[in-house]
Each structure stands twice: as structure tokens, then as C-alpha cells.
Chains A and B, each alone.
Chain A
């Protein structure tokens, strides 16, 4: 409820891939550029008081990167036919994600799985033709932001 109508103060549609992007934990202002690494096209940027969403389209997946008011990416989400290159999206958090995946056991019969490392929370789910994921760094999430309200 805290992020619904009224809080959105500006919507900008960007036609070129000129703005830089960042992996989790990196600055969206100074770090370039997931757009290049993912061969993505930038679709839109939506700002509210508490965060800015950068939306990319890469190889059949819609990717959203959520930056806090300091310009640091605190969450990423994706949805599409497969999954994007998570090493690009997770940046410095990728190795601990990989280690956690390698340690985890097969979860029989599950279409949705949650995974936590010491610094990262990941939820993946979906089915063939429609895979989804959402990862965030709890320590970087803006105060009083309910993650369930994020437009994923």
C-alpha cells in the first residue's frame, strides 16, 4: 500500500540504451553497463520517491533493476522464456549464489524455490515458457518499502 498511486512522480520512456546499469549492490549512476553485457534494449525507467526501476528486454526476458535513492541496485527481477545471465545481474553476489545453489538439494515437485545466502535472498519460480525470478539484498532495501508492493 505504501508505494501505490500518488508516490510515482515521474515516468520516462527511453528509446536508446544510453543510460548505464548496474548489478546488485552497484551504483546505477557510475557502473556500466548490463545493457551491453546482456545485449539488452532498455524499455523504460520509472521513478518513485523510494526507488527507480530500470526495465530491460534481453533475449525474450523482461529484466527489472530496482535502485534506491542513493542509486544503488537493491533488487532485480526477471520474467521470460528462460533466465538472463545471472552472473551479470548478480555481480559481486553471483559467487555466493552459485555456492548456495551447488549446496542445495533437488527439490522434488516444486515450481517455486527460495534461497538465502548471508547477504542475498532469491525466489525463483514458473514453468516452461514462463520463468520468473526475484533477488534482493536486504541490507540495501529502502526503509519502509514493502517488497510485495514492487511491480515485478
Chain B
């Protein structure tokens, strides 16, 4: 296994270098006529020497529930005790903040946090109209051998208290969601931040007394939080490293999340391009001549989502490929990532495959570096972007060898 992994990394790094160099000559020439700023072809980061036995390494297994889904195991404990359980099949999500677990997979006795004379509860709403509802409880959260003590976690339980009216279509079971929970390790600490601390009717946090739940402001220290900044060490961000795959896809794949940036030999980049993010965690992306200021890199998005046109027609409204592009043939594209200020500029070559062909049930592959779909006014660099790359995620307000967060770097 180890030898095979080594070969995959070696091949992927060679192919990336070759790919990047190819893209550079033509692309830079074309743009230099109208723009004097340097456009870098691809990121500088190289695969890190991760053995998997380090205290700060967490194994990623792709596809525990659906296409392009990165999954990890998380250990939780009753705070300050050795009463712990390890829960597998947790979505690893760099696009959210905090740990959410379905109540049905939690066997520990965790205390519910109280606020405003009732139990603290939360409704997280998703774009598809579904939501996750349930109480906020306290737990120790362990990743690798790093422990975040007594932090707020969201226990997803649609039957808790009285669910607010606009907490629509609540998730009820792991099988429908495609995971036992979500581990949000993105660029911020709390899932809502100062907004929910100052606004009572934030429509996210509620105080539940009996079966009455009323909206409540919540101090940031009580909000559901990314565990990483609470680790005693290796707490300034995470690195995700997944192997490259072929355009045909892969049936199985594993990789690593490493805790911390520049704190150990396995998380220190030799070089990397840093994309500073704004107060919402956004970077810029220019595609088809238009700049999208609300762009982001996100392991919890299972495709590349952006404003597509031309050959990038949408797949059917029903069936396996809803929400994906269905171009007639594999389509080569280029976009330019940039930090919030517009620099540095990094060109990224990518491909979009016909979604219905890739996701056909006769295809055993469940990991693709080339599926995508439409997203108005934004460029969402989802899981395909991570394949064959080493991507650094610096947490807001934390210093690192690459500088202070929030940033993405690769």
C-alpha cells in the first residue's frame, strides 16, 4: 500500500508540473498584451512528506455516501473524561465551521448548553431548502491526537423541542444526508460569528424551554466552533492533500488532512502561493473575462460550480446528474484565482465532463476531477480542485509560516 501511495504521489506531482508548464507559455503570452500583472501558472506547493503515523495526521477516505465526498473519522468524549467514541463517515468540509453529528450516532451522555433560560439549539439552512436542527452540546473533539476541550457541537435531531417554521425539510437520518455528520474546518472559528452575538432574531440560534423555541443572540464563545483553533498545538489551520486521478475518475481514493501549517515537518510548505481571503472567506476568480469576488475553495462542494455558458449546458432536471453540467464532450477551460485584493493571480486549467455519462450507475467510479455545475455570480472550487494538490487553509486571526489567516494557499 505504502509503495503504491508513493508512486501515485510521484506520478501526480510529475503530471501537475508538466500540466502547469504547458499552460504557462501560451496563457501568459495571451494575457500579457492586455495585463501587465504576472499570472502564475498553477500553484507552487508540492506534496508534503506525510506518513500518516504523525499525531497531527487524519486519514481522508473518499466517497462514504455520495460522489466526491471526502470523509473522516472523529472522536468525541464527554468533556474531561475518557468516555469517548469514534464516529466514522463524517463529511470533511472546508466550507463550514464546527462539528455537526446526527443524534442517532452519538452514544455518549453530552450536556446541552443553556442560554436565556432554555436549551441552546440551532437551525442551519442549506441552499436546497433542507436544514439541520437540534441542540448545542459540549464535547471534547479529537482529530488525530489533538484535542479541542469542551467545545460547542451541533447535535442534529429534527425531533428536538419545537422546530422553527422556517427550518424547512430538516435532515432526519444519516442515510439521506450521506454522512453521520459534518466536520467544518474552514477559515473561521465560529459558525455564525459576531452577527449572531449581536442580533437576537438571527434565525439561526434559538433558546428552547419545553417545546417553545425563541430566537436568541449567542456570544461567540457559545457558538458551534471549528475545533482546530482550540487544539493546544497545530491550531492555525489545516492542509488537505489528495492524490491526482485520471479524467475517467476513480472508484476509491484516500488522502490526508494535516493539522497545523508550518508547525511540523509534515505541514511546512517549501513554497506556496497565498490567496488572502476577505471577511467572508472569499477570494476572487476571473472566468470568461468576468471577475467573481465571492469565490472560494471548498472540500464540501462535490463539483466545480461556476457561471457556465456555451457548451456547458445543464443536465436534465431529474435523474442522477441534477445540478451538473452535461457538455457533449470533455471540455477544457481556464480560470484565474486571485486573493481578495486581486493578487497574486494563479491560472488554473480544468476540465468539465458530461455529468450524466460520469455519474451513470453502470460506472463504478465515484470520484471525478472534472464534474461541475452552474453557480450564478460565484466560482466554487469544490472537491475536484483538491485532487492532485496540497491545499493550505489558514484560520482567521491565527499566525502561520505563510502569514495570518484567513487564507487559502497552494
Please report A residues at the B interface, Cβ cutoff 8 Å: 39, 59-60, 80-87, 98, 101-102, 104, 106-115, 123-131, 134, 148, 152
Contacts and interface: CB of A to CB of B under 8 A. Distances in A.
Given A82-B204, A106-B171, A126-B127, A112 B378 contact: yes
A82 B202 contact: yes
Contacts of A60: 195, 199, 202
Contacts of B298: 111, 127
B303 to A, nearest CB: 7
B234 interface: no
Contacts of A130: 280-282, 294
Given A107-B323, A111-B298, A152-B377, 12 more contacts: A59-B201, A60-B202, A81-B199, A81-B202, A109-B66, A109-B383, A113-B128, A128-B186, A128-B191, A129-B191, A129-B280, A148-B376
Contacts of A111: 95, 127, 298, 300-301, 305, 375, 380
Contact of B378 (A83, A102, A125): A125
B166 interface: yes
Contacts of B134: none
Interface in B100-158: 124-125, 127-130
Nearest to B177: A106
B333 interface: no
B124 to A, nearest CB: 8
Interface of B: 65-69, 95-97, 124-125, 127-130, 166, 168-169, 171, 176-178, 184, 186, 188, 191-193, 195-196, 199, 201-204, 280-282, 294, 296, 298, 300-303, 305, 322-323, 373-378, 380, 382-383
A94 B4 CA distance: 55
Contact of A109 (B96, B280, B296, B301): B301
A87 B203 CA distance: 14
B292 to A, nearest CB: 12
Contacts of B202: 59-60, 81-82
Contacts of B67: 108-109
5 contacts: A109-B68, A110-B373, A125-B376, A127-B96, A130-B280
A109 B166 contact: no
Nearest to A126: B127
A111 B196 CA distance: 21
B169 A102 contact: yes
B96 A125 contact: no
B119 to A, nearest CB: 20
Contacts of B374: 112, 114
Find the residue from A86, A111, A125 having the highest chain B CB count within 10 A: A111
Contact of A127 (B95, B128, B373, B383): B95
A85 to B, nearest CB: 7
A82 B383 contact: no
Contacts of B127: 107, 110-113, 124-126
Contacts of A115: 129
A43 to B, nearest CB: 16
A26 B176 CA distance: 38
Nearest to B184: A128
Contact of A110 (B96, B128, B166): B128
A16 B42 CA distance: 51
B272 to A, nearest CB: 23
A83 B300 CA distance: 21
B196 A81 contact: yes
B189 to A, nearest CB: 11
A21 to B, nearest CB: 18
Contacts of B303: 109
Contacts of B296: 127
